[in-house]
Amino acid sequence: MADPRRARTRRRLLDAGHHLISEKGIGELRIAEITRQAGVALGSFQNHFESKEGFVEAVVSETLEALAAEIVDSPPSPDDPAVVAITALRRFVRLAYDDPAFSRLLVNLGRSEELFLDAIRPFAETALKRAADTGVFQIEDLDIAVTSIVAGGLAVIRRILDGHVGPDADIVLARTALLGFGVDAESVAEITSLPVPRTESRWPGSRTAQRE
């Protein structure tokens, strides 16, 4: 049985991490400050995390998982699996436009690709499998399709942040994915013309909400 006291301590540490990372960034983050912000003993940190780097990864992964759940749980058109899958892809890519602070933190982590894949894969797999099962997408290997879509999305986020691609890179990626899944050109044009909501990471300190 899980220890509720241990779970509460971990939760307080993660909440403190969200606040301090958004306020000071990773470079200025100190374990002593994390535990002080969380109101727990210094030794408690080592009971939950092996290093500061592992702690930061846990904070970012938690944010990504919450974001993925929110995007998938609020599809624009539940009856159209192609729209659900591609809208989710576009919203993740648009994180680079809508919340660049969090996006830069993500891509600059040492294991960013692995963290992104681990957090997004279950949701991407569900969306793509549904589209394949209903015959909307032609997918030969689901695992390879999921990996290529998620990794490709992260790569495009990097390109946006580096200034190598302009606005609406999400639409270009969406068109490429849809055509690769065997969707006809007319449907591709219709699906990619649909508007998508702004992507909000809910990362403390994010300026997304303030810009709206």
Q: Domains in the chain, please, with CATH? A: 1-49 (1.10.10.60), 60-211 (1.10.357.10)
Over residues 38-63, the pLDDT tens digits come to 999 888 898 899 888 889 888 888 88
47-51: long-range contacts at Cβ-Cβ below 8 A with a sequence spacing of 24 or more?
A: 47/6, 47/9, 48/6, 48/9, 48/10, 48/13, 49/13
- Please report which confidence band the pLDDT of residue 78 belongs to, taking 50, 70 and 90 as the band edges: low
Q: What is the pTM of this model?
A: 0.80
Which of 36-45, 51-60, 80-89, 134-143 has maximum average pLDDT?
134-143
What distances in angstroms separate CA 132 from CA 118, 125, 182, one per listed residue? 21, 10, 11
Over residues 187-205, the pLDDT tens digits come to 999 999 999 888 766 565 5
**Which residue do the tokens 């963290």 mark?**
115
pLDDT at 114: 87
Token output for 65:
């998982």
Taking residues 111-130, what's their average pLDDT?
88
